[in-house]
Each structure stands twice: as structure tokens, then as C-alpha cells.
Amino acid sequence: MSGGRLEGIDLVKRFGGLTAVDEVTVHTAPSEVTALIGPNGAGKTTLFQCLTGVERPDSGRVLLDGTDITRRSPDARARLGIGRTFQRLAVFATMTVADNLGVGAENRNSAPTLVRTGQLLLGILGFPVVDEKRHQRRVDEVIELLGLREVRDAPAGSLPTGTLRLVELGRALCHDPQVLLLDEPASGLDTTETRQLQRVLRDVTGSGVAVLLVEHDVDLVFDVADRVYAMAEGKLIAAGTVDEVRTHPAVLEAYLS
Amino acid sequence: MLALDYALAGLGLGAIAALSGVGVLLTYRLTGVFNMAHGAIAMIAAYLFWQCTAGWGLPVWLAALLVLAVASPGLGMLLERFVFRPLQRRFATPAESLVATIGLLVLLLGVAYVVWGPQTRHPAALVPENVVQWGSLTLHVDAFTDLGIVIAGTLALGIVLRLTALGTQIRAVVDRRDLAELSGVDADRVSAIGWSIGCVFASLTGILLAAQISLNPFGLTLLVLETFAIPVLAGLRSIPIAIATGIALGIAQSEMNLWSPANASLSSIWDALHANLPVVLLLVVLLVRNRLAEGGGDAGSATTFARRRAGAASNRRLAVQYALAAGAMILPLTFNSVHLRQAQEIPALGIIFVSIVAVTGYSGQISLGQAGYAGLGALFFAKASGGTPQIIALLVAALAAGVVGFATGYPAIRRRGLFLALTTFAVGAFVSRFVFAQPYFTNDVEVNRPSFFGLSLQGDRAFYLFELALLAFAFLVMFNLRNGALGRSLIAIRDSEDGARSVGVDVRVLKVLIFTVSAMLAGLGGALLAQQAQAFDPTAFDPLEASLPWFAVVVVFGADSAVAAVIGAGFLVLVNALTGQAGAYLIPIGLLAAFLGRLPGGAAELGRRTVDWLMTPTALMRRYTAAVPPSRPPLVLSDRGRLALARVRREQPASPAEGSARP
């Protein structure tokens, strides 16, 4: 898989008088875990939303492998290869785990809108336009990878938060993303699940995917991240390797004060 | 130029429109529920008032006192206690409350229809007509009285709510009922007061309005529904804006009398605009506003009354279902001609109901304008079948409905819940008023049953078979919408739009598509309905007489089951045939829809649960055999684990109860 360089350049996002993200430039790189840390209200989530397309930045650009995607909708970005999970879960509660993952696998289609609409119309009339067998294989792979075999056919709405975080991760993985954006994936996970998550992250980056992690759990971040960005009050205060950021005076101050 | 006398003439109706709009807005502010039944409550109150005065001969003041001070607050308390309290207790979504109010609307329509009949009544005026000639101006003193009542009532209420603790309590309960209860607010009492106030406003509207126009079950209710433009324009917030809008609406409508285009066809458009100004305003306001400030969160999607999980029904169960349904559908072929003719409505209505399942059940978009598409289908089939082959005419009908569906689906991309429901309703009402009610479109419309390749479908049996073939086609479409990748994507949108977007489901395209397909199916069904009756009847596609009750039927029978939708159509036709009254089915359907909160998922879910219950022994056996693994892998312990196990064994020697072993 090529690519996986997602860049946010000079991003600014204001809410009324508050500048939530102030001239922030970040990027991900293939086969790397990039982490974004910062205290509550630092602007991590807003930056994340600008990268995924949920929020539109007031100025600045978002590039995926050099292509400007600043004005693309979240679903268009997803079709281009950006996968994500949610801090507040957004699973399909009435569907089984396997179907949740299936939706992820089946919609990786970057054909133009007109072509996709045509395919949908054919689908309504019953023509098999989606190669369901192939997608099913991918779903089964990911289910094995995440250890979800036990709950494969359980409706997602009946499962605990920790499992659902893995389901969302699996949904994004089935999508074969080039860039994977994870919004606090470890919140609500127990120690075993967190270790499972670390293992999966290593697997994923091993296959060339770029991962961007927004996380409160600093231990997890320092364990898995290759590069770390630290934010405070909307601004980027430090960037570099784990060791550089861990000992950066501005980071220490932001976390201690 | 505004003419003063016309403005004054419009003041009366404007004041009542303002009262109606303020009532809807107040109910929303006081209870957190957008009351679709506001008009029906007004209509029932007007009937009660008529019954007291004309029926039992009570004096007007006593009748008004009985209706406004006894019956209306009583109704409000009943509604709170039996319909909305259970919903709020279990944190039902606003979409569920909305459906409950639609159920209530349908129920009250049915009650009025059965008790007082469809004929028009003329109740006494609460405010007697009083005209004073003042120079060249004609002053309607009664209009000023109406206006005074509206402003005084609203002001008094506003002062009470602002100066007493009740106002704060109401806001707290509407905002966060659970937190309000925790801080000692009697939420039940507060909501009961809210509902009572809302009902009194509705009743006053009904009584005043019935004196101005005449009274019949559907007419007055629809008129009140059309004033929804007022609360929407006021952003569901500002009472002064609502009052001003209402009065402006009345005056504008009156001023339109002043001028008329010379051109005959322009003039008929102008007349239609004039007569239906509120509908136009409603549609325009809904299309222009891109957001409604909905208190208590977004009404969300309709997930809550569509329960079926994707892929939950086993193939065998589906096969049994379809076989049974097909058998039942063939049965009418053995009926005598009278019954067969009645049964012919079932597949036609069934297709329309199935189209509601597609849009509401499968993808969670509330659509209250389905009869509009059906009527367009009927009308376009009638117009096209004159010169073209029938099958092409049928295609034209479906396409015409589809185009309007597409146009509705487009704004639906950004709208959800209540806002979408109102928009679809407005489209239905608009089509009804500007197409079905216009002689230009509906004069000399002849509907003939089709014939294909020399095969005539004139005969009742042949036509019924033809309908069944189209129903089967509709089922094929529904099957494809439900299953496979497409079905999963639709349910994904229903369950979580954000989640669906995050994996590349094209929510915009799918929403527009589902609206278009649903409208095309409805158009097909509508064309069949007209062919069955061999006439185009505009009231058959009325937003109030058709759209809303149809929606209620589908939701009651199970919004996510196509088979249940056809059973619903059968139920409707059967009740009508048995009672000989076109409105009789409204009562059971309305009752069930109003109490749907107690049975989420409707009759389809009940059926599924019953089958599950019947199958319990087999299912349990299957689960039991599955749960006992053939061979258990040996337990592997790490060094630390072995140590821990040894320690546990040493500390607690084979004792069942923890603690008792300790000395």
C-alpha cells in the first residue's frame, strides 16, 4: 500500500470568540503511530474533526498524499482511505458485529458519484454489484485479528463499551485505510483490552498504515507512538519523538499546571 | 398598496391563526413535544362546543366554560398521564413522541368521524359578529375581541411563567426531566399543567375558528395543521414573532383580494396561492430555514420504531412468511365480485404502505407526504394513458412521482426528525392543494384499467392478478433494499449517520435515492388505486385523510416489515368493508399508534416475539448443544498463575462460602 501521508497545514478553527485550533500543522507518515496529546480543552478533538471533515477549518488546508481534501465531506474522505473511530461510540447498534464490519468493507469505493449511484440503482433491481464474498473474507480476517470471534453474530447494541471500541476499530480496518485516525481508543478499555489494542496497532502499522492517535492515556501513547504532538490551548507546543516530547519543558508545564 | 379596510378584515382570521400557532409553540415549550394533534384537539373541542350549544341547547357562555375550563384541561391531563408520561419515563426519543401525537391525531379524527359524521356543522359564535361603520371604514369589532383574547391570554401566561416558580420548573422538566425530578420538581404535575395549557389554547382556536369557517372533521384540523408555518418561522421559540406572523398572514391573505392578474391562467395560479397561503408559507419557511432549534435534542432518526436487526430473520422463517402471505393474497380470487372489488384495494394500498416502509423503516426517515406521491402517480397515469401504451403510462406515473420524491429527498439530506417530518408533510399538502385540488389538472380525468399486448385487464380477477404482479415487483425491490450491502448501508444510516459516513457510506446519495425509490413505489401504488376505482379522487390522496393515517398504519403494524405493511393494508380495507364507514379504521389505528410507546416495533415485533416464544424449546435446545463445547482445551497457567492458584488453594481449603474458612 502506498501513501498514508495526511497533512494538516496551518489549520485554524474558531468557535465564536474562542480559537480552538490556532495555526496548527501536523502530519502522519506510513508505518508510523503519530500521537496527539494535550490536556482537556487543548483542541485535540477539534483538530481531529478538521482532519476527518466533520468540521471545516476557518483557514488552512488538509492534504492526503498531496491532494487537497479540505473541502471534501467526511464520507468522501473515508472513500479516499481515511478510517476513523469515535470517542463517543458510533456503532450500528441493531446490526451484528460481522455486519458492522461488513459496512466498513463494502463502501471502500472511490468511483465518481455518478458511477456509484448507477451501481446502487442496479443493486436495487437485484444485480450483484458488490463482491460480497471478497468483503466477507476481509471481515473474517479482521474478526480474527481483533479476537471478536465470540461476539461475531451478537447485535452490537448488546455489547460492552470496551468490545465496541474494538468493533469500531475493526470497522475502520475492514475499510483498508491508508490513514487510521483513532479518537481516544483506550477510554473504557480494561488492561487486557488495552494490551490487545497495542498489539493490533503494531500489526496495523506493520502493514504500512499511518495511525494518528488522540489519547489521554499518556502511558499508552509513550508505549506505542513513534512521534508525538503536544497541544495546549489550541496551539502546538511540542513535536518530536517520545523522549523529546516527554522532557519538553512546555509539555511538563502544561501537564503540571 | 395596503388597503386599511382589507387589513382590518383579515385581522380576525389572523388573530386566530396567531392563536393556533402560539398554541403549538407553547405546547412545545411547555412539554417538549411538537403536537401534531393540535388541530385535532381544536376540532374535537369545536365539536364539543357545537354539541353543548346546538345539541343540548346550553347557553354559549356555559358551553364555552365547560369546554375550555373543564374538558380541555381534563383532556390535557389524560394525555399526559396515559400517552406522554410513559414515553418520557423511559426517555423515548422525540421521534416516538411525534408518532404518538400523530396517533392521537388519527384517533381524534376517527372519533369525530364516527360520532358526528362527515357532514358539515355550523356552531354558534363565541364572539358574536359585531360590525361598526366608521366613516368609510367597516370595523369588525369581533376581530379585535379575538385579537384581544389572544394577546391577553398569552401575556397572562407569560407573566405567570416568568414570575412564579412554575416557569422555571417547566423549563427544567422540558430540558432534563430526570435532573429536575432529582432536585425535587414534581415533573408529572408540571407536564400535566403544560399539556392542559396546550389543550386550552387548542380548544380556544377550534371554537373561534369553527365560527368563522364551518366545522367538519378534516377541514378544521387541516387548517390548524397548516398554521405550523407560524411556530416554525418563530423558530419554536419566540412568542411575539409567532403572534406577529399569524396576524401578518391573515392580513396578507385578505390583501390578496385586492389584486388579480388579468391573464386567466395566471389568475388561477394567483387564486390558488391566495387560498393556500399558509401551505406555501409552511413549505417556503421549511425549505429556507436550514435548522430548527429543537429543545431536548434532535428528534433523531426513526430507529426506535424499527427494531428488526439486519440479517436477524432466518431464511427459513422468511420463506414461511412469504409463502403464507402469498397464499393469503391469492385467496380473494375465490371471492364474489363485490368482495373481490373491495380486496382489489389491498395490493394497491399495500404497495404504497411498502413504500413508507422503505423510507421510514429501512432508512429511518420520517415521511408524512406519501399520499402526495401516490396521487401524482395516479394523476400522471390518467393523463398519460390516453395516448401511450399502458405500461409506458405506468412508468411515466412512477417517474413523475419519483421526480417529486427526488426533490423532497434533496432537502432531506440535511434534515432529520421533526424538521424532516414537517417538510415531507408540507410537500404532501402543497401537492394536494396545487395539483389535486386544481380543476386545471383534474378536470375530465378518465382512468381506465390497462391492457397489455391485447390482454385486457378489465375483468376484476385479471386486474387483481396484475396488481399482485406489481406487488411482487415491489417486494423484489424491498428485498434488495433490505439485504446485502445496500441494505446494510441503509440500516447503517438509520443507526448512526456519523458512523456510516466514517466508513464512506454516501449518506447524501443514499438518502435522495431512498426518497426517490419510495416515491416511485408510492406512485405505482397510487396509479393502481385509481385504476381500481376507475376514477381519480383527490380526497383519496389528501395529506390529512390519507398521508398521516397511512403512516400511522405502517408504524402500528411494524415500520420495518414489508409483509406487515401489506397486512396493514388488508386490515384497513377489512375494517372499512365490515363497518361500511371510510373513517372507522382510524380509531383502532390511532389508539395503537398513540400507545406505540408500550410496544416499540409495532405488530411486526409482537409477531416476531410470539414466534420466538413458540420456538423457545427448539431454540433453547439448539443453544444448549451449541454451548457445550465438544472438548475443552487444557488450561495453561503461567508460573505466576500457578503460584497464585496454589496460594488460593492453601488459604481457602475447599470451602464454598468466602470468609467462613478463616479463623
Cα(B236)–Cα(B548) distance, integer angstroms: 22
Give the pLDDT confidence score for residue B598 in this predicted structure: 74
Residue B308 to residue A94, Cβ atoms within 8 A: yes
Cα(B83)–Cα(B598) distance, integer angstroms: 9
pLDDT greater than 80 at residue B373: yes
Strand-pair category, A33-37 with A82-84: unpaired
- pLDDT tens for residues B490-548? 889 888 888 999 998 998 899 999 999 999 999 999 999 998 888 888 888 999 999 99
**Closest to A126 (Cβ–Cβ): which among B476, B485, B507?**
B476
pLDDT greater than 80 at residue B203: yes
Count of other CB atoms within 10 angstroms of residue B513: 23
pLDDT greater than 90 at residue B32: no
Query: Residue B423: phi, psi to the nearest 5?
Result: -60, -45
Q: Taking a C-beta distance cutoff of 8 angstroms, is the pair B532, B344 a contact?
A: yes
- pLDDT tens for residues B384-424? 887 777 888 889 999 999 999 998 888 877 777 788 889 99
- Per residue, the 3-state secondary structure of B282-346, as one string, reads HHHHHHHCCCCCCCCCCCCCCHHHCCCCCCCCCHHHHHHHHHHHHHHHHHHHHCCHHHHHHHCHH
- Read off the C-alpha cell for B639: 508460573
Residue B509 to residue A155, Cβ atoms within 8 A: no
**Closest to A109 (Cβ–Cβ): which among B479, B480, B504?**
B504
Contact with chain B for residue A46, Cβ under 8 A = no
Cα(B446)–Cα(B451) distance, integer angstroms: 15
| Chain A residues in contact with B311 (beta carbon < 8 A) | 95-96, 99
Cα(B13)–Cα(B249) distance, integer angstroms: 9
Cα(A185)–Cα(B415) distance, integer angstroms: 30
Contact with chain B for residue A196, Cβ under 8 A = no
| Per-residue confidence band for B245, with pLDDT thresholds at 50, 70 and 90 | very high
**Interface size, chain A vs chain B, as Cβ–Cβ contacts under 8 Å:** 131
Total count of residues recorded for chain A: 257
pLDDT greater than 80 at residue A170: yes
> What type of residue sits at position A135?
H
Cα(A172)–Cα(B609) distance, integer angstroms: 34
Shortest distance, CA B358 to any CA of chain A (angstroms): 12
Distant-in-sequence, close-in-space partners of B610: CB < 8 Å, separation ≥ 6: none
Shortest distance, CA B303 to any CA of chain A (angstroms): 9
Give the pLDDT confidence score for residue B657 in this predicted structure: 45
Give the pLDDT confidence score for residue B604 in this predicted structure: 75
Span B40-56, average pLDDT: 94
Distant-in-sequence, close-in-space partners of A184: CB < 8 Å, separation ≥ 6: A87, A214, A215, A216
Residue A95 to residue B495, Cβ atoms within 8 A: yes
DSSP state of B547: I
pLDDT greater than 60 at residue B4: yes
- Read off the C-alpha cell for A185: 481508543
Span B7-12, average pLDDT: 82
- Read off the C-alpha cell for B378: 395516479
pLDDT greater than 90 at residue B137: no
Q: Which of B509, B601, B409 is nearest to A116 (CA)?
A: B509
Question: Residue B474: closest CA among chain A residues belongs to which residue?
Answer: A125
**Closest to A126 (Cβ–Cβ): which among B308, B480, B494?**
B480
Q: Taking a C-beta distance cutoff of 8 angstroms, is the pair A168, A85 a contact?
A: yes
B391 torsion bin: left (phi>0), alpha (psi -120 to 50), beta (else): alpha
pLDDT greater than 80 at residue B446: no
Distant-in-sequence, close-in-space partners of B471: CB < 8 Å, separation ≥ 6: B329, B347, B350, B351, B354, B566
Top-confidence residue, B75 or B151: B75
As a whole number, the mean pLDDT across chain B is 84
Dihedral sign computed on CA atoms, order B418, B419, B420, B425: positive
| Per-residue confidence band for B663, with pLDDT thresholds at 50, 70 and 90 | very low
Give the pLDDT confidence score for residue B660 in this predicted structure: 43
Give the pLDDT confidence score for residue B524 in this predicted structure: 95
Contact with chain B for residue A94, Cβ under 8 A = yes
Residue A75 to residue B309, Cβ atoms within 8 A: no
Give the pLDDT confidence score for residue B541 in this predicted structure: 92
Contact with chain A for residue B413, Cβ under 8 A = no
Cα(B507)–Cα(A196) distance, integer angstroms: 32
Top-confidence residue, A132 or A11: A11
**Closest to B488 (Cβ–Cβ): which among A54, A90, A99?**
A99
Top-confidence residue, B638 or B503: B503
User: With pLDDT > 70 as the criterion, what percentage of chain B qualifies?
Assistant: 90
Cα(B138)–Cα(B144) distance, integer angstroms: 13
DSSP state of B348: H
**Closest to B504 (Cβ–Cβ): which among A85, A91, A107?**
A107
| CB crowding B448-465: b at 16 or more within 10 Å, else e | bbbeeeeeebeebeebbe
Strand-pair category, A6-15 with A59-64: antiparallel
pLDDT greater than 80 at residue B103: yes
Query: Residue A18: phi, psi to the nearest 5?
Result: -90, 130
Over its C-alpha atoms, chain A yields an Rg (Å, rounded) of 19
Q: Taking a C-beta distance cutoff of 8 angstroms, is the pair B423, B409 a contact?
A: no
Query: Residue B454: phi, psi to the nearest 5?
Result: 80, 0
Give the pLDDT confidence score for residue B311 in this predicted structure: 47
Contact with chain A for residue B145, Cβ under 8 A = no
Contact with chain A for residue B65, Cβ under 8 A = no
Lowest mean pLDDT among B80-94, B373-387, B427-441: B80-94
Span B46-63, average pLDDT: 92
Give, in order, the Cα–Cα distances in Å from B539 to each of A80, B199, B528, B546.
50, 28, 16, 8
Q: Taking a C-beta distance cutoff of 8 angstroms, is the pair A70, A205 a contact?
A: no
- pLDDT tens for residues B579-589? 888 788 999 99
pLDDT greater than 50 at residue B298: no
| Chain B residues in contact with A78 (beta carbon < 8 A) | 501-504
Distant-in-sequence, close-in-space partners of B45: CB < 8 Å, separation ≥ 6: B67, B68, B71, B72, B202, B203, B204, B206, B207
**Closest to B480 (Cβ–Cβ): which among A76, A107, A125?**
A125
Cα(B537)–Cα(B403) distance, integer angstroms: 22
Q: Whole-prediction pTM value? A: 0.86
| Per-residue confidence band for B347, with pLDDT thresholds at 50, 70 and 90 | very high
Contact with chain A for residue B399, Cβ under 8 A = no
B264, B269, B275, B281: CA torsion to nearest 10: -160
Top-confidence residue, B415 or B101: B101
Residue B488 to residue A84, Cβ atoms within 8 A: no
Q: Taking a C-beta distance cutoff of 8 angstroms, is the pair B522, B377 a contact?
A: yes
End-to-end CA gap in chain B: 101
Span A117-130, average pLDDT: 85
Shortest distance, CA A250 to any CA of chain B (angstroms): 34
Query: Residue A12: phi, psi to the nearest 5?
Result: -130, 130
- The DSSP string of B145-177 is HHHHHHHHHHHHHHHHHHHSHHHHHHHHHHH-H
Three-state DSSP class for residue A64: strand
Contact with chain B for residue A72, Cβ under 8 A = no
Q: Which parts of B32-164 fold into alpha helices (H)?
A: 38-50, 60-65, 72-78, 85-89, 94-116, 141-163
Residue with cell 413504500: B355
Query: Residue B473: phi, psi to the nearest 5?
Result: -60, -45
- pLDDT tens for residues B72-96? 999 999 999 999 988 887 777 777 8
Distant-in-sequence, close-in-space partners of B139: CB < 8 Å, separation ≥ 6: B8, B131, B132, B133
Give the pLDDT confidence score for residue B652 in this predicted structure: 63
- pLDDT tens for residues A19-29? 889 999 999 99
Give, in order, the Cα–Cα distances in Å from B33 to each of A95, B360, B426.
29, 20, 19
Span A211-234, average pLDDT: 87
Q: Which of B358, B516, B497 is nearest to B489 (CA)?
A: B497
Count of other CB atoms within 10 angstroms of residue B470: 19
Chain B interface mutation, best of A51, A77, A94, A178, highest count of B Cβ atoms under 10 Å: A94
pLDDT greater than 80 at residue B362: yes
**Closest to A132 (Cβ–Cβ): which among B311, B485, B502?**
B485
Residue A124 to residue B510, Cβ atoms within 8 A: no
pLDDT greater than 50 at residue B301: no
Residue B310 to residue A121, Cβ atoms within 8 A: no
Question: Residue A112: closest CA among chain B residues belongs to which residue?
Answer: B506
pLDDT greater than 60 at residue B361: yes
Q: Taking a C-beta distance cutoff of 8 angstroms, is the pair B238, B231 a contact?
A: no
Cα(B153)–Cα(A169) distance, integer angstroms: 57
| Per-residue confidence band for B41, with pLDDT thresholds at 50, 70 and 90 | very high
Contact with chain B for residue A109, Cβ under 8 A = yes
Residue A95 to residue B480, Cβ atoms within 8 A: no
| Chain B residues in contact with A113 (beta carbon < 8 A) | 506, 509
User: With pLDDT > 90 as the criterion, what percentage of chain B qualifies?
Assistant: 33
**Closest to A124 (Cβ–Cβ): which among B308, B480, B491?**
B480
- Read off the C-alpha cell for B580: 361500511
Lowest mean pLDDT among A88-102, A217-231, B191-205, B623-637: B623-637
In chain A, how many H helices and how many E strands?
10, 10
